[in-house]
Amino acid sequence: MDIIKTKRFILRLIRLKDAKDLAKNMNNWNVIKNLSQIPFPYELRHAKQFSGKIEKEMKKEKPENYVMVIEIDGEVVGAVGAHHIVHGHKAEMGYWLAEKHWGRGIMSEVVKKFMAHIFTKFKLRRICAYAYPYNKGSMRVMEKVGMKFEGIGRKDMIKDGKFLDVHIYAKVK
């Protein structure tokens, strides 16, 4: 089943109607600066385009992207996704959370539940994730969920026209 409920949050598949909450909670430079390929300001049109595209793609038999939103008290306050999925092999994971929920351990719990779900759903052997060197919080999340530091990808990402290094973490089964 594609819904995960805990005492603190619900993880469920993204829907087009989530766009308003997504735009509201993602349109924050402190969130956006940690994400690749996300425009700032992040507007409702961006959220509608993304959520509509992903909702449609996840209906495919073998989607390349799979995104769940994080819902707290009826509001979508973040998301976690598997991207570049190679069924039976690997995926790249990304996530974000509204700043008002940082520092409470929510993201670590979300990522742990999400990884268990997609390892099974897509029969994965490897999940990797990236963090910019200044994003210590994300690196801590990856460590807390059992991902291992594999190295640094030099000038691996482009953010705001600048080439940035990334710290690479992975969990394998």
What pLDDT is recorded for position 1? 61
Q: Which residues contact 27 (CB under 8 A, 6 or more apart)?
A: 40, 41, 42, 43
Task: State the average pLDDT over residues 72-100.
Answer: 96
Rounded CA gap, 45 and 59, in Å? 22
What pLDDT is recorded for position 55? 86
Regarding pTM above 0.85, the answer is: yes
Residue 36 pLDDT > 90:
no
- Tell me the CATH number of domain 3-129, given options 3.50.50.60, 3.30.390.10, 3.40.630.30, 3.30.910.10: 3.40.630.30
